[in-house]
Structure 1
C-alpha cells in the first residue's frame, strides 16, 4: 500500500513546491519592481526639490573688489588728489549672469581698508555715493552715506602702539582700520530695469586707501528665510512632500489601470 500511496504524495509535494516556487518568484519580482519604483520616485523627488531650490533661492552673498581711479592731469599739492576717487563696479557674474533677483531685498555695503595715517585721522567725515545703472548706462538709483574713521584718543593710540610694537616692527601687524559703509539697507531689483553695475565715488581728495570691496548680502524673509536658515528640515519636508504626492499619483494610476483591465476581462 505504501507503493500505491507514494506517487500521489510525490505529485502533491511537487505541485506544492512548484506553487511555492512560483509564488516566491512572483513575490521577489513584485518586491524588486516596488523597490525600483520607490527608488525612482525618491530620485525624482530629490531632483525636483533641488531644481526648485536652485531656481527659487538667489545668490546669498556676493563680493567684488573696488578699484578706484582718479585724475592725474593736474598739479595737486602733496597728499591731495586731482579728483574724487571713483570706481565702476560690475554687478554681473562672468559679465553676463545677474546676481540680483527680482523683488529680493539686498543689503549693499562698501568695506574700506584705510591706514591710520595723520591725513586720514584729520580727514573727519566724508561722503560715499553710489549710482546704480542698467544696460546702456541709464541711472536707476542714487544713494550717499557719510563715514569717518573710528576715533582714538592720543593716549589710547600710544598704548596700542606700545602693546603691538613687536608685531609692528616685525611686519606682522599694521596700523589700519576697516570701515563698513552701508549704502543700501534694502535694495530691490526692478524686473523691467535690471541693475548691471554701479559707480562708487568717495567725495574726498585727501583720503588714503589700501583696498576696497563691495559686498551684497541677500536679506531673506518668508519661505526663503526658512529654506536658508533651516536647510536640512526644509529639504526633508520638501522631498517627503514630493515623494508622497508622486506616490499617490502612481498608486491611483496603477489602480485605474488594474480596474480597466478587469473591466476588459469581464
Structure 2
C-alpha cells in the first residue's frame, strides 16, 4: 500500500507534461494565426490606400492668380495702361500635374471686387483664359462675360447702417466675391498635358482686391462612390483584399500540407514505365526483316516496289532475264548509317550488331551485265507477284 502513491505521482506528472505540451502547441498555433491575420490586414489596408491614392485625383485645387498690367503709359486716374493679366501654373512642385487624364473638371475664376463707384459704373466685361502645354503652345481657349451684382442705393444704405459696427471694427468689408465659370467640362488630353493658363480681364477700368483660379473635379462611377461614401468604400475594399489574400494563403498552406502527405513518386514511376513501353514498341517497329544468306548468315534486304513500267520491261526481256537496276537493288544491303541507328537504339544485342556488320561487306564481283557471276551462283531473288 505504501508503493501506491508513486505510480499515481508518475501518472500525474506524465499527464501534466502532456497537457503542457498541448497547451504550448496551441499557444504557438494561435500566435502564428494571429500574426498571419494581422499581416494580411495590414497588407489589405496598404493595398486599398495605394489604390485610392493612385486612382482618385485632386478633388479641388485653388491657385492664386497674380494680376499684372502695364504702367508705362503715364495715364492718370483709374484707367489702366493695359488689361490685367495673370499667368497660373497647373504643375505642383514643377513635376506633379494638377489635372488627371480623362477626368472632367470645372474651372472658374473668383474675383474679389470692392463695391466702389468705378466698379458699379463698369458694367459688363470679358474674362478670357488660354490653356497652354509645354513650349507655350495654346491648346484651349475660353471667354466668359461677368458683371458686378446690382444693389440699389437704399439697399446699400441699409446694409451700411446694420453692419456699421462690423465695418468699423474690420470684421466685414463692402465687397463682392464674383465667380466666373470658364470651363464646365474640361478634360485633360494625355498627349498634350496642360501645364498652365493665362487669364486676361478685358477691362482697363476694373478694380480688384484679388483673384483665384479654382479647379473642381466632377466624379462619376467608382470615383463618385469613393468620394461621397469614403467609409463604406474603405470597409468594402479592405474586406475584399483581406478575403482574397486569405484564400491565397489558405490554398498555399493546404498545398504544402498535402504535398507532404501525398508524395509524387508513384506518378513518376508510372510515367517512367510508360516511356519504357513506348521505346520498346518503337524498337520493335524499327527492327528490319532478316532472311538467311547463302552462307547461313543473316542478310538484310530491301524489297523494292515494282511499278508497271518495270513489269513491261521484264516482259520484253523474257522470263529468265533480270533488269540491271532490279538486280542491283536486290543485292544492295543496308548502308552503314542505318545499321548504326538500329544498333544504337538498344533494341538488338551485340551479336545482331556483329551479324549486321558482316552482312554489309561489299561483294567481290562487279555488278554489271557483261561480268561473270560470282562463284556462289546467281543471287537469290525474292519472288514478286505482278497484278498484270
- Give the Å deviation of 1:77: 4.7
Q: Which residue of 2 is the match for residue 66 of structure 1?
A: 65
Cα distance in structure 2, aligned partners of 1:21 and 1:203:
88
* Residue matched to 1:76: 75
- 1 or 2 for the larger relative contact order (CA 8 Å, sep ≥6)? 1
Cα distance in 2 for partners of 1:244, 1:168 equals 61
Structure 2 partner of 1:217: 216
Cα distance in 1 between the residues matched to 2:114 and 2:22: 83
1:53-132 aligned at under 5 Å gives the runs 53-132=52-131
Q: Write the deviation string for residues 74-95 of structure 1: whole angstroms up to 9, x where unpaired.
A: 2335211111101100011112
What CA deviation, in whole Å up to 9, does each residue of 1:22-72 have, x standing for no partner?
111100000000000000000100111111111111111111111111112
Note the C-alpha offset of 1:253. 0.3
Q: Deviations over 1:135-166 (max 9, x none)?
A: 11111110111110001112212222222233
Count of aligned pairs: 265
Partner of 2:246: 247
Cα deviation 1:209-230 (Å, max 9, x = unaligned): 0101111111111111111111
**What's the counterpart of residue 174 of structure 1?**
173
Mapped partners of 2:264, 2:32: distance in 1: 24
Deviations along 1:215-251, whole A, 9 cap, x unmatched?
A: 1111111111111111111111111110011001000
Question: Within 2, Cα distance between the matches of 1:177 and 1:85?
Answer: 19
Higher-strand-fraction structure: 1
Q: Structure 1 residue 265: deviation in Å?
A: 10
What corresponds to 1:235 in structure 2? 234
Within 2, Cα distance between the matches of 1:158 and 1:211?
25
Distance (whole Å) between structure 2 residues aligned to residue 112 and residue 79 of structure 1: 18
**CA deviation after TM superposition for structure 1 residue 124, in Å:** 0.8
Q: State the superposition RMSD in angstroms.
A: 1.6
Q: Which runs of 5+ in 1 are unaligned?
A: none
- The equivalent of 2:280 in structure 1 is none
Write the mapping of 1:7-22 to structure 2, written as runs, cut at 5 A.
Answer: 7-22=6-21
Question: Matched residues in 2 for 1:263 and 1:63: separation?
Answer: 65
- What is the distance in 1 between the residues matched to 2:163 and 2:20? 84
Partner of 2:183: 184
Alpha-carbon separation, structure 2, partners of 1:9 and 1:200: 97
TM-score normalised per structure 1: 0.95
- Tell me the equivalent position of 2:225: 226
Give the deviation of 1:263 after TM superposition.
1.6
Where 1:112 maps in the other structure, the secondary structure is: strand
Deviations 1:109-142 (A, max 9, x none): 1110011111100111111111011111111110
Following the alignment from structure 1 to structure 2, what is the Cα–Cα distance between the partners of residues 30 and 265?
28
Task: Tell me the SS of whatever aligns to 1:130.
Answer: strand
TM-score normalised by structure 2 residue count: 0.66
* Partner of residue 51, structure 1: 50
What's the counterpart of residue 207 of structure 1?
206
